[in-house]
Chain A
Amino acid sequence: MGMKLTLKIWRQKDGADKGRMVPYELEDISPDMSFLEMLDVLNERLILDGEDPVAFDHDCREGICGMCSLVIDGTPHGPQRATTTCQLHMRHFQDGDVITIEPWRAGAFPVIKDLVVDRTALDRIIQAGGYVSAPTGSAPDAAAIPVPQADAHDAFDAATCIGCGACVAACPNASAMLFTAAKVTHLGLLPQGQPERYGRVTAMVAQMDAEGFGGCTNTGECTAVCPKGIPFETITRLNADLLTAARRS
Chain B
Amino acid sequence: MDLFTEGEPIHDTRAPDGPIEERWDQRRFGGKLVNPANRRKLSVIVVGTGLAGGSAAATLGELGYRVKSFCYQDSPRRAHSIAAQGGINAAKNYRNDGDSIQRLFYDTVKGGDYRSRESNVHRLAQVSVEIIDQCVAQGVPFAREYGGLLDTRSFGGVQVSRTFYARGQTGQQLLLGAYQALERQVAAGTVEMFTRHEMLELIVIDGVARGIVARDMVTGEIETHTADAVVLASGGYGNVFFLSTNAKGCNVTATWRAHRKGALFANPCYTQIHPTCIPQSGEHQSKLTLMSESLRNDGRVWVPVAKGDTRAPGDIPEDERDYYLERRYPSFGNLVPRDIASRAAKSVCDEGRGVGPGGLGVYLDFAEAIARLGRDAVANKYGNLFEMYERITGEDPFEVPMRIYPAVHYTMGGLWVDYDLQSTIPGLFVIGEANFSDHGANRLGASALMQGLADGYFVLPNTISDYLSGGPFEKVGDDHEAVVAARKTVTDRIERLLSIDGDRTPDSFHRELGALMWEYCGMERTDEGLRKALDRIRELRTEFWGSVKVPGENEELNQALEKAGRIADFFELAELMCVDALHRAESCGGHFRAESQTPDGEALRDDENFAYVAAWEYTGEAPVLHKENLEYENVKMVQRSYK
Interface residues of A (CB under 8 A from B): 13-14, 30-34, 36-37, 40-41, 43-44, 46-48, 50-53, 55, 57-67, 80, 83, 87, 89, 91, 112-113, 116, 118-120, 122-123, 126-128, 130-143, 145-149, 152-153, 155-156, 159-160, 162-163, 186-187, 190, 192-193
Contact = CB atoms under 8 A, between A and B. Distances in A.
Interface string B391-407: 11110000000000000
B180 A126 contact: yes
Interface string B62-75: 10000000000111
Given A65-B78, A67-B78, A140-B137, 10 more contacts: A32-B281, A47-B505, A48-B505, A59-B78, A61-B247, A137-B130, A139-B130, A139-B136, A156-B173, A190-B141
Contact of A53 (B83, B503, B508, B560): B560
Given A131-B184, A133-B184, A135-B62, A113 B83 contact: no
Interface string B264-290: 000000000000000001101111011
A137 B55 CA distance: 12
Contacts of A48: 503, 505, 549
Interface in B317-339: none
Interface string B97-134: 00000000000000000000000000000000010111
Contact of B137 (A40, A91, A138): A138
B507 interface: yes
Contacts of B146: 149
Nearest to B181: A131
A63 B289 CA distance: 10
Contact of A87 (B73, B186, B195, B392): B392
A50 B282 contact: no
Report, nearest first, the 9 A-B pairs whose CB atoms are least far apart: A146-B148, A139-B137, A131-B180, A134-B137, A139-B133, A156-B141, A127-B187, A32-B281, A142-B136
Contacts of B180: 126, 130-132
Given A34-B286, A159-B141, A65 B73 contact: yes
B282 A152 contact: no
Contact of A127 (B141, B183, B392): B183
30 contacts: A13-B556, A34-B286, A40-B284, A44-B507, A46-B551, A50-B551, A51-B551, A60-B82, A60-B83, A60-B247, A61-B248, A61-B286, A64-B82, A87-B392, A113-B557, A119-B74, A123-B186, A127-B184, A128-B187, A130-B180, A136-B134, A146-B144, A146-B147, A149-B144, A152-B142, A155-B139, A156-B166, A156-B173, A192-B139, A193-B139
B195 A33 contact: no
A127 B458 contact: no
B247 A134 contact: no
B472 interface: no
Given A32-B394, A55-B559, A187 B137 contact: no
B145 interface: yes
Chain A binding surface, main DSSP class: loop
B82 A65 contact: yes
A175 to B, nearest CB: 19
A112 to B, nearest CB: 6
Contacts of A120: 74-75, 195
B249 A59 contact: yes
B574 interface: no
Residue of B62, B184, B393 with highest tally of chain A CB at under 10 A: B184
A87 B74 contact: no
A117 to B, nearest CB: 9
Contacts of B141: 152, 155-156, 159, 186, 190
A132 B184 CA distance: 9
B549 A55 contact: no
Interface of B: 55, 58-59, 62, 73-80, 82-83, 92, 94, 130, 132-139, 141-150, 166-167, 169, 172-173, 176, 179-181, 183-184, 186-187, 193, 195, 218, 247-249, 281-282, 284-287, 289-290, 388, 391-394, 457-458, 461, 503, 505, 507-508, 549, 551-552, 556-557, 559-560
B53 to A, nearest CB: 14
Nearest to A62: B289
Nearest to A49: B551
A155 B167 CA distance: 12
A36 B286 contact: yes
A31 B392 CA distance: 11
Nearest to B246: A60
Contacts of B183: 123, 126-127, 130-131
A203 to B, nearest CB: 9
Contacts of A137: 130, 134, 458
Residue of B58, B218, B503 with highest tally of chain A CB at under 10 A: B218
Contacts of A162: 172
Contacts of A31: 394
Contact of B139 (A14, A83, A138, A187): A187
Contacts of A116: 557
Contacts of A131: 138-139, 180-181, 183-184
Contacts of A32: 281-282, 284, 393-394
A136 B289 contact: no
A47 B549 contact: yes
